[in-house]
A and B are shown apart, each in its own frame.
Chain A
Amino acid sequence: MSEELMPDKNGRFGIYGGRYVAETLVPALEELSEQYEIIKNDENFLKEFTDDLKYYVGRPSPLYFAKRWTELLGGAKIFLKREDLNHTGAHKINNTVGQILLAKHMGKKRIIAETGAGQHGVATASVAARHGLECIIYMGEEDIKRQSLNVFRIKLLGAKVVGVSSGTSTLKDAMNEAMRDWVTNVDDTYYIIGSVAGPHPYPQIVRDFNAVVGREVLEQSQSIIGKDPDMLVACVGGGSNAMGLFYPFIEKKNVRLIGVEAGGLGLSTGKHAAPLNDGKEGVLHGMRTYLMQDDAGQVIETHSVSAGLDYPGVGPEHAWLKDIGRAEYEAADDEEALDAFKELTRVEGIMPALETAHGIAYVKKVAPTMSKDSSIVVNVSGRGDKDINTVASIEGIEL
């Protein structure tokens, strides 16, 4: 099957994806699918979405040649896709700008979302503020501690933050709680999922709204590099920034697609968040995908220095791209990510989010092995301001 048709009508990417939810939500998801199919080709919607991306988000984001970093690494030319320059500081806003229009089209009055690093929470609270809709953000207590800056931003934007202390108190538990809210308030509430994860049609919707990233890179590569890049690199938690970058390139088999998962304390320790590298097939949050789980089918605790990658599952389309061999999935551990964070900051004056730093860490490794006439585009999915408390505390510095 051509990627153009993915997912199929049952929301499947190969064996992955689908709609594994309690019955109460099935009709709501069917309605969402129907409405999305109508709206996605509607001229008025497309114009409003494109205008919002241009005037509210600030698109297109630049494709920037990292000259000093390229010279330092001494191999492939490195280009940074500057999603960190978007309004609210990450790629997450592309998706929320689109989904809030869908929510309004469906007549929903109340917006809910889950967040890990807080970027999706901020992006959701921002668009909810702009459209004057009530907004509730679910966030794990553990993440509330390590991302306090974003928690305060969300509150300033007028949204309510609900702490989640069940399970591991991180992103997956926030998603469980958001689902529980949705099932309870399904009539008037729209759930803006922040990654290419969850039950169908979310993986498709979130991919489509982020695909603007890859489409811009397609064009920008021709004018700036003069040809297609040889490799695209992006970090993968749930996988929305990677999917947005990869999707328009899937049929371009000359371009290697590399997703970089969170290696945590190291793949061999088992303490990581890299299901595509070291997980197995399972069902969580309404989707079939690769999962971090034990033999009894219990989802296990993940470890990552980056809250946004600290998730035991991954978008089903990534699972499929891995199985068919179209994309490759690597891992960078906490230490490598922190080194990369510092290097990009010092050499290019660009401070990446700790999530992004995992992609940067892989580029650091692979670029020197590539020829000087080859090129890499890495998605700088977010900026690192939100992470300075985390980095400072690792270094033993009190701010």
Chain B
Amino acid sequence: MSSKIKEVFSNIKAQKRKALITYIVSGDPDIQTTLNIMHCMVEEGADIIELGIPFSDPMAEGVSIQRGHERALDKGASLHDAFELVKEFRLTNKLTPIVFMGYMNTFESLGADLFMQHASSSELDGILIVDMPPEESSDFNLAAKKANIDIIRLIAPTTSSSRAKKICSQCSGYVYYISVKGITGAANMDAVDVKNKVGELRKHTELPIAIGFGIKDAASASSVMEVADGIVVGSVFVDLIGEGGNIIEKVSAKTKELSEVLQ
């Protein structure tokens, strides 16, 4: 069975543009606002939405997204809410792929099988568990395959060529290339290095490649987009949400700006 993520990428390729993948934290600042943000992001050109699952110890996140996790947890957000949120979203949007991005301990609180049951019934499309390298993921691999849920995996600047090959072979949906040695929202992206590494990565996979972690604005997005199939932007949106005020208006404008760059 073909996945929604795959379809979206092949449509985008046909349109000769790049996918805009937006990241926000589920329940930040509250579930209803997250739902509204998701719809407005799609309206302004987001192709895939990554929903951060709030965790008490988000080790790979920079300050912006850490604060997002904290705001969501303060309101009692959970994995259950996130599934409910996706169901609610699906009432009016059947097409935009949704990926849960988070940490092993929250995903495991349900266990792989039960997680995938919820994932199927809420029409979730993929998962990206940050602290689950291929070596530690047998339960989720098996369950995800059965449920036809994509497992998106990370490749880092430190990943060797032989290891990248192995990771790609256990990945589906898209490959997520981490553009920096660092945490989300880092400011030290080296566009030349990213282009070289992603070029290298193409040898190992036919899957679409999305680039993220160090993309903070239109300029950084356009500096690497030629080698990518998609660009992931997170910290910028989470910062706007943290600022408060008219969140929807600000997020809409930012999404529009980024999606225009990727045309």
Query: Does B bind A?
Result: yes
Interface residues of A (CB under 8 A from B): 10, 18-28, 166-167, 172-173, 176, 179-180, 183-187, 282-286, 291, 293, 295-300
Give Cα A20–Cα B133 distance, bound, in whole angstroms: 7
Report 9 cross-chain contacts, Cβ distance below 8 Å, ordered by A residue.
Answer: A18-B136, A23-B158, A24-B182, A26-B133, A180-B183, A282-B105, A283-B103, A297-B79, A297-B108
- Cβ-neighbour of A19 out of B106, B135, B157 (below 8 A): B135
Tell me whether A298 and B157 are in contact (CB under 8 A): no
Binary contact readout B181-217 vs A (1 if CB under 8 angstroms, 0 otherwise) = 1110010100000000000000000000000000000
Q: Which residue of A lies closest to B177 (CB)?
A: A23
Q: Which residue of B lies closest to A166 (CB)?
A: B66
A22-B131 contact given A184-B183, A184-B186, CB 8 Å threshold:
yes
Tell me whether A27 and B59 are in contact (CB under 8 A): no
Tell me whether B59 and A22 are in contact (CB under 8 A): yes
Give Cα A28–Cα B60 distance, bound, in whole angstroms: 15
Give Cα A224–Cα B135 distance, bound, in whole angstroms: 47
Interface of A is mostly: mixed
* Cβ distance A33 to chain B, nearest Cβ, rounded Å: 12
Tell me whether B156 and A283 are in contact (CB under 8 A): no
Which 9 pairs show the lowest CB-CB distances between chains A and B? A297-B109, A24-B156, A297-B106, A184-B182, A23-B154, A283-B104, A23-B156, A299-B56, A22-B60
Tell me whether A299 and B105 are in contact (CB under 8 A): yes
* Cβ distance B152 to chain A, nearest Cβ, rounded Å: 12
- Cβ-neighbour of A186 out of B56, B78, B79, B181 (below 8 A): B181
Tell me whether A27 and B105 are in contact (CB under 8 A): no
Give Cα A167–Cα B153 distance, bound, in whole angstroms: 27
Tell me whether B104 and A20 are in contact (CB under 8 A): yes
- Cβ-neighbour of B57 out of A18, A23, A187, A284 (below 8 A): A284
Residues of A within 8 A of B163 (CB): 26-27
Given A24-B156, A176-B58, A186-B158, 20 further pairs, Cβ under 8 A: A18-B136, A20-B133, A24-B158, A25-B158, A26-B133, A26-B159, A27-B163, A28-B158, A167-B70, A183-B60, A183-B183, A283-B103, A283-B104, A284-B57, A296-B78, A296-B106, A296-B109, A297-B109, A298-B56, A299-B56
Give Cα A24–Cα B132 distance, bound, in whole angstroms: 12
Q: How many A-B residue pairs have CB under 8 A?
A: 115
Give Cα A299–Cα B54 distance, bound, in whole angstroms: 11
Give Cα A300–Cα B163 distance, bound, in whole angstroms: 35
Give Cα A126–Cα B188 distance, bound, in whole angstroms: 31
Q: Scan residues 94-135 of chain B and give those whose CB is less than 8 A from a CB of chain A.
A: 103-109, 130-133, 135
Q: Is B73 an interface residue (CB 8 A)?
A: yes
Give Cα A18–Cα B134 distance, bound, in whole angstroms: 12
A295-B109 contact given A22-B154, A176-B57, CB 8 Å threshold:
yes
Tell me whether B79 and A21 are in contact (CB under 8 A): no
Q: Is B42 an interface residue (CB 8 A)?
A: no
Residues of A within 8 A of B155 (CB): 23
Q: Which residue of A lies closest to B79 (CB)?
A: A296
A291-B131 contact given A23-B167, A24-B156, A186-B158, CB 8 Å threshold:
no
Interface residues of B (CB under 8 A from A): 55-60, 62, 66, 70, 73, 78-80, 103-109, 130-133, 135-136, 153-160, 163, 167, 178, 181-183, 186, 188
* Cβ distance A277 to chain B, nearest Cβ, rounded Å: 19
Give Cα A293–Cα B55 distance, bound, in whole angstroms: 11
Give Cα A269–Cα B155 distance, bound, in whole angstroms: 44
Tell me whether A286 and B181 are in contact (CB under 8 A): no
Give Cα A22–Cα B131 distance, bound, in whole angstroms: 5
Tell me whether A22 and B156 are in contact (CB under 8 A): yes
Give Cα A222–Cα B106 distance, bound, in whole angstroms: 49
Give Cα A87–Cα B109 distance, bound, in whole angstroms: 43
Residues of B within 8 A of A286 (CB): 131
* Cβ distance B206 to chain A, nearest Cβ, rounded Å: 20
* Cβ distance B237 to chain A, nearest Cβ, rounded Å: 20
Residues of A within 8 A of B105 (CB): 282-284, 291, 293, 297-299
Residues of A within 8 A of B131 (CB): 20-22, 283, 286
- Cβ-neighbour of B178 out of A23, A283, A284, A298 (below 8 A): A23
Tell me whether A184 and B106 are in contact (CB under 8 A): no
A298-B106 contact given A19-B136, A172-B57, CB 8 Å threshold:
yes
* Cβ distance B132 to chain A, nearest Cβ, rounded Å: 7
* Cβ distance B60 to chain A, nearest Cβ, rounded Å: 4
Q: Which residue of A lies closest to B67 (CB)?
A: A166
Residues of B within 8 A of A167 (CB): 56-57, 70
Residues of A within 8 A of B106 (CB): 296-298
Give Cα A361–Cα B163 distance, bound, in whole angstroms: 49
Residues of B within 8 A of A25 (CB): 158
Tell me whether B78 and A183 are in contact (CB under 8 A): no
Give the most central of A10, A172, A282, A291: most B CB within 10 Å. Answer: A282
Give Cα A282–Cα B181 distance, bound, in whole angstroms: 27
Residues of B within 8 A of A300 (CB): 56
Residues of A within 8 A of B130 (CB): 22
* Cβ distance A287 to chain B, nearest Cβ, rounded Å: 10
Residues of B within 8 A of A183 (CB): 60, 181-183
Residues of A within 8 A of B135 (CB): 10, 18-19
- Cβ-neighbour of B59 out of A179, A186, A187, A297 (below 8 A): A179
Give Cα A223–Cα B15 distance, bound, in whole angstroms: 81
Q: Which residue of B lies closest to A283 (CB)?
A: B104
